[in-house]
Chain A
Amino acid sequence: MYLYDAVDQRLVDERVAQFRDQTRRFLAGELSEDNFRPLRLQNGLYIQRFAPMLRVAIPYGLLASRQLRALAHIARKWDRGYGHFSTRQNIQFNWVKLEDVPDILAHLASVQMHAIQTSGNCIRNTTTDHLAGVAPDEIVDPLVWCELIRQWSTFHPEFAYLPRKFKIAVSGAENDRAAIQVHDIGLQALRGANGETGFRVLVGGGLGRTPVIGTAIREFLPWPHLLSYLDAILRVYNRHGRRDNKYKARIKILVRELTPEVFRAQVDAEWAHLKDGPSTLTAAEVGRITQRFTRPQYQKLEALSVHYTQALARERGFANWAGRNVHPHKVPGYAAVTLSLKKTGVPPGDATADQMDAVADLADRYSFGELRVSHEQNLILSDVKQSDLHALWQEAKALGLATPNIGLITNIIACPGGDFCSLANAKSIPVAEAIQRRFDDLDYQHDIGELDLNISGCMNSCGHHHVGHIGILGVDKQGAEFYQISIGGAQGNAAALGKVIGPSFAQDEVPDVIEKLIQTYLARRDSEAERFIDVVRRIGIAPFKEHVYGNADQKRENRNGQLAAA
């Protein structure tokens, strides 16, 4: 956990005072709605369908138990007793009152948290691997670099009014768990020839209306230059990104219109002036930030706990859970655990205040008082002794947080959708629930194997549907909510954008369509080892399409006839 120093704390406190005054002026009629909007957005406050929504940053997904308790307190005192963990390592409160927000921010500041730049056309919360620092495949621990980027981006005076929002993700592992290829900037931390840290820099990735996989513009940026190079990219974007059309204002459009080669040349020309300037990072500063992170004091343990292996052999339910929700750890005898927020019937990513308090207790007792929030909208206890896993499983089960579905079809990523969000074309939550119900049988889920199913309620793609093995997108069709389905998307190292299989479906048709996709997969896979996504890659989308629409053609014609007649 990064611990604030006096300056970090003072800046957050001053932000609360600033926003308190801005809110007062807005409520007194001294600030117009248009003038207040960017100010409140840069403090995470949206005006939503029913009430303002407050998005709180969980920088790079790291959370201390006392911070989670503060979130529970906020949910109880100022919201309706729950919160929604988003795909960008934030938590959203859907029912706050505008006039309460300064007090909420003050409460957050008291536990070294904030809602700074969680929305608006600025540099957003930097995200990373939810297994940062503990994953066996890690090359460079990204947390220190994320905190350096957090400080650099916080109140950056030049980049508060960019053409559009700007998201940075960092990965330091062999397997990308931070979706760096679909961010405005993706940083892959790696080691140079002499073991020194550097970054492969990707730009122009993103989902949304125009999904794009990012392009590498620098293969190895030595760490001292991280901030000056980011400054150069942001300056080129701030000056030249399109401002005439908000749908063409993201950096991906600039990179595409210029071509990556020209964009890189412009960044390099700018960087030539900034390189080796005062923003150049020093070993002393990296060391100082490193020292401000508390790290778990691990015990010396056997690589494999006998207690754990015996429990695995004894209890099938535990073994199922361990097989999906327990992840290897770089320290012998420890494991990382995902507490699933994807129980059937609960909106994906939602947690009640009581669950938050209970998870904070679990973190204190089993994981050094810390936890992580993943972009797949689950909570992670990153440092659990293997010998504690069985006890933890029983407690998590009692809390409804032990659904053994990580990596499976019911671990659905979904945005809040039309139930809450004023941008949405269609609801996400009932679609997720209907699919979870259809595939609720655990044996069936495990038989289907690894499958990412992502749902977005609109083109803004908060539910990352483009990179789901199966992606579902809510669309508006003649005023009715319909769902377009794509397959073949993927996150991680082999990130890819899904292809739409054909015309969209009504809400109640979606589970049947998913079922048909799964049937096609099961019939065509060459072994259980071949995952859904592997089969799509091998045979293409045509066989899936055929199975889905073959029977549906007649139905579709009937419905089109009805719509035409209506």
Chain B
Amino acid sequence: MATLIKNAKIATDSWQRLDRATDGSLPSVPATGDVLVSLPLWQAMAGELLGRNGGRLGVWLDGSEDPAQIADSLEALSLVAIHFAQFTDGRGYSTARLLRERHGWKGELRAIGDIQRDQLFYLSRCGFDAFELNDGLDPQGALSAFTDFTEAYQTSVERPLPLFRRRVAEAV
């Protein structure tokens, strides 16, 4: 079971993941509880999912999936997750920034898949605030990754102004 880190603390995970079965058939939707579904599932079953009486909804995107595809659904969602098939596949970093900076996503943005300690700093700068850490990693040790660096030059979700603009603001 992966450890969930949320807002730089170890947290418990209330979300159940839902995808098509291996034979392609649609799963049955639990009546209650928090459900995180793949983009294809969301596109196939949004109506049914939205019709539930209880529980929150989330969608996860794969590296190749364009966040614009859920831009109109964001109001109905409580969680967006981005899946990293391998930690070296960096597309999700751009996806995260687009969701935050272009599509205005303010809710939980979770990194899932191959998530390790040494990527947490950059991931958090790109707007992720939750991380499902790989099995076998020391969660307490991983928390220290958020302070690997105390400053950054560029604009990012975490610090929208680049260092050169903050220097000026601080000097005034």
Contact = CB atoms under 8 A, between A and B. Distances in A.
A161 B93 contact: yes
A157 B122 CA distance: 5
Would you list the 6 A-B pairs with minimal beta carbon distance, nearest first?
A161-B90, A157-B125, A157-B122, A285-B164, A151-B153, A158-B93
Contact of A157 (B102, B118, B152, B168): B152
Contact of A279 (B90, B91, B155): B155
A154 interface: yes
A227 to B, nearest CB: 8
Contacts of A152: 153-154
B154 A239 contact: no
Interface of B: 87-91, 93-95, 97, 102, 116, 118-119, 121-123, 125-126, 138, 148-156, 160-165, 167-168
A243 B118 contact: no
Interface in A368-407: none
Contacts, number: 93
A158 B138 CA distance: 25
15 contacts: A11-B149, A35-B116, A121-B90, A151-B153, A152-B153, A155-B154, A157-B93, A157-B125, A161-B90, A238-B94, A239-B94, A273-B102, A278-B161, A278-B162, A282-B168
A314 B97 CA distance: 67
A35 B164 contact: no
Nearest to B85: A243
A14 B153 CA distance: 14
Contact of A39 (B94, B118, B126, B164): B118
A14 B89 CA distance: 25
B154 A279 contact: yes
Nearest to A273: B102
B164 A282 contact: yes
Interface in A230-282: 235, 238-239, 243, 273, 277-279, 281-282
Interface in A36-88: 38-39
Nearest to B124: A157
A279 B162 CA distance: 6
A249 to B, nearest CB: 11
Contact of B156 (A39, A157, A273): A157
A110 interface: no
B89 A161 contact: yes
B94 A158 contact: yes
Given A161-B93, A239-B91, A156 B154 contact: yes
Contacts of A209: none
A238 B154 contact: no
B64 to A, nearest CB: 9
B152 to A, nearest CB: 6
Contacts of A10: 150-151
Contacts of B138: 30
B153 A155 contact: yes
Contacts of A7: 151, 163
Given A35-B87, A161-B90, A155 B152 contact: yes
Interface in A346-388: none
Given A154-B153, A279-B154, A162 B90 contact: yes
Interface string A415-449: 00000000000000000000000000000000000
Nearest to A277: B155
A121 B97 CA distance: 19
